[in-house]
Amino acid sequence: MENKKREGSVIFSPYNRGEAIKKVVTISREDVLFEIRESKLKGRGGAGFPTATKWTLVSAAISDEKYVVCNADEGEPGTFKDRVLLLEYPELIFDGMVVAGYTIGAKKGIVYLRGEYEYMLKSLEDYLESMRKDNLLGKNICGKDGFDFDISIRLGSGAYVCGEETALIESLEGQRGEARNRPPYPVNTGYLGKPTTVNNVETFAAVSHIITKGGSWFAKFGTDKSTGAKLFSVSGDCEKPGVYELPWGTSINELLEIVGAKNTKAVQVGGASGICIPKNQFDRKLGYEDAPTGGSIIIFNESRNMLHVLKNFMEFFVEESCGQCTPCRIGNVKLLEGVEMIENSNFTFNYLNHLKELGKTMQVASKCGLGQSSPNAFLSIIENFKDEIFNNGGKNGK
C-alpha cells in the first residue's frame, strides 16, 4: 500500500477499518436510507444519480436474491481516482459495499475490476480475506444474526463500454459487453435478472463516511445540489498532477491554482466524453449544476493543438464503440473523418454543420451513454476553438 498522507476533509478524512459495518448493524435499514438521503449523495461515476433513490428502489424490490456491484471499470480517459482508492483505501470501498448489502438485503457483492488493473487483484483479495477473518465479511457479520454477505472480484478484459452499468452486467453474465435497453433498470432486473445496485468505487467510499459521520455532516460540504467533496483526477499540463479531494463548487480557476497549471488554454472536464472548457469560462464551477465530472480533469496549455486533442478523443471512441447501435458505430467514424478533413484542409463549412447536426442526433439517438456523450468533445472543441482550428487552415499548433 502506498502512503496515506492524502489531504481531504471528506473522502480522505480519518476512518477506521470496519467502522461503518460495526455501526450499520446496530441501526435499521430505514435509518441507513435516511442518512444517505440526508447526505444527498449522488453517484460518483459521472451520471450523478441519487444513491438513496437507487438503494430505496433495490431494497423495495421483492426477490430472494439481490446483488451489490461495485463498478471499478474506471476507463474514462484522464480518470485514475479509483486506482488510488483501490490501492490505498480498500477499507472504504468494501465497507461501503457491506453497508449496501445490509441496506438492500443482498448476500453477494461483486467488484468488477478493469482488466488493466489486474496487478491490484492479489492485494485486494488478500484484503477481503483479512476482512473474512475479522468477521467483517461472511456469516452473521459483526454478530448480527442472519446478516451474511461476501464479496468477490471479477476482472474485465479491456472494454471501455463495460463501465456502462448494463454493459457491465452483461459482461458479468458472460456475454459481450453490450448495453441493454432500459427500462427495465438494474434496480429491478440486474445481474442474472435479479435486483442489483451498481455503484461507483468512490460512491461506496463516500457511503462509509456517511454512515460513521452522518448524512448531515456530509451535506455540509459542497453546494446545495452537489453535496460533499469529490476526488478529481488531474492530469495534463500542470506541475502537480494527481488525485485531489476538493469540495464541489470549486471553480476551474481555483483548481488550476492548486495544481500549479500555467498558461492554460483549455480544460477538459469529464474525460473524453466530457466537455472542453476554454479560458474565458474558467470561472465555471465543478458540480452537477454547472460542469459535472466523474473526476477527470485534463489540462491543456497554450502549446497544445486542440484539433490533435479532438482527434485523439475521436479515435478513442471509434475504437471503443461496441458497434451495437448505428448512431454510435457510424457516427463516431464520421466525426473522426470530419476531424481528419479539417486537419488536411479538405472540408467545407456546410459539411461541418452537417456533422454538428449528426453529433446532436447521436446525443439523443444512441442507446447508451457512450454514444450519447461521445459527440460532446467534438461539439465543444469545434465551437470553442474555431479561431484556432479554422484560421490556420487546420494546420495549427504552435
Partner 1 sequence: MLVFEKNNMTDEIEQLVNKYGKSRSSLLPILQDIQRKHKFIPDFAQQEVARLLDIHPVEVYSVITFYSFLNTKPKGRNIIRLCQTITCDLAGKENIAKAIERELGIKFGETTKDNKITLEYVNCLGMCDQGPALLVNERVYSKVTPEKAIQILNEIK
Residue in the block written with cell 438513496: 52
Cell of 291: 460542469
> Got the DSSP string for 147-215?
--BEEEEEE--S-GGGGSHHHHHHHHTTS---PPPSSSPTTTS-GGGS-EEEEEHHHHHHHHHHHHH-H
| Residue 193 touches partner 1, criterion: CB under 8 A | no
| Of 27 and 121, CB closest to partner 1 | 121
- Asked if 397 touches partner 1 (CB under 8 A), the answer is no
Asked whether the beta carbons of 379 and 364 are under 8 A apart, the reply is: no
Whose Cβ is closer to partner 1: residue 131's or residue 201's? 201
12 contributes a contact to partner 1 by CB under 8 A: no
Binding mask 323-362 for partner 1 (x = CB under 8 A): ----------------------------------------
Listed in order, strand segments (DSSP E) in 248-342 are 264-269, 275-278, 296-301
Least distance between partner 1 and beta carbon 93 (Å): 15
Which cell is 132 given? Answer: 473474512
Q: Does 119 participate in binding partner 1 (rule CB under 8 A)?
A: yes
Contacts of 191 (CB under 8 A, 6+ apart): 67, 69, 110, 169, 172, 173
Q: Which stretch binds partner 1 (CB under 8 A): 127-135, 241-249, 353-361, 379-387?
A: 241-249
> Which of 77, 215, 247, 270 contacts partner 1 by CB under 8 A?
77
HSE-CB at 377 with a 13 A cutoff on CA atoms is: 29
Under the criterion CB under 8 A, does residue 198 sit at the interface with partner 1?
no
Task: Decide if residue 242 touches partner 1 (CB under 8 A).
Answer: yes
Residue 177 found at the interface with partner 1 (CB under 8 A): yes
Residue type at position 377: A
Question: Of 58 and 162, which has the nearer Cβ to partner 1?
Answer: 162
Binding of partner 1 at residue 79 (CB under 8 A)? yes
With CB under 8 A, what is the number of residues at the site for partner 1? 52
Q: How far apart are CA 179 and CA 122, in angstroms?
A: 29
Q: What would the grid cell of residue 114 be?
A: 478493469
Contact flag: residue 230 with partner 1 (CB under 8 A): no
Among 12, 55, 117, 248, binds partner 1 (CB under 8 A): 117
398 makes contact with partner 1 (CB under 8 A): no
Interface residue with partner 1, options 312, 344, 345, 353 (CB under 8 A): 312
- Which member of 237, 245, 290, 388 binds partner 1 (CB under 8 A)? 237
**Rounded to the nearest whole angstrom, what is the least distance from the CB of residue 313 to partner 1 in the complex?**
7
What residues have CB less than 8 Å from 175, skipping those under 6 apart?
A: none
Q: For residues 396 and 350, what is the distance between their CA atoms, to the nearest angstrom?
A: 21
Binding of residue 309 to partner 1 (CB under 8 A): yes
Task: State which of residues 103, 171, 212, 376 lies at the interface with partner 1 (CB under 8 A).
Answer: 171
**Residue 42 touching partner 1 (CB under 8 A):** no
DSSP 113: E
Q: Does 76 bind partner 1 (CB under 8 A)?
A: yes
Does 18 contact partner 1 by CB under 8 A?
no
Identified binder of partner 1 from the candidate list 2, 174, 350, 398, rule CB under 8 A: 174
Residue 354: CA count within 13 A, CB half-sphere: 9
Please report, for residues 256, 275, 279, the alpha-carbon distance to residue 238 in angstroms, rounded to integers and kept in the order given.
Answer: 8, 19, 15
Check residue 243 for interaction with partner 1 (CB under 8 A). Answer: yes
Yes or no: say if 197 and 68 are a contact pair by the CB < 8 Å rule. yes
Helical H runs in 25-112? Answer: 29-39, 51-60, 81-88, 90-104
Min dist. Cβ of residue 357 to partner 1 (A): 26
Give residues in contact with partner 1 (CB under 8 A). Answer: 74-80, 82-83, 114-119, 154-160, 171-178, 192, 233-237, 241-243, 268, 272, 298, 300, 304, 309, 312-313, 315-316, 319-320, 322
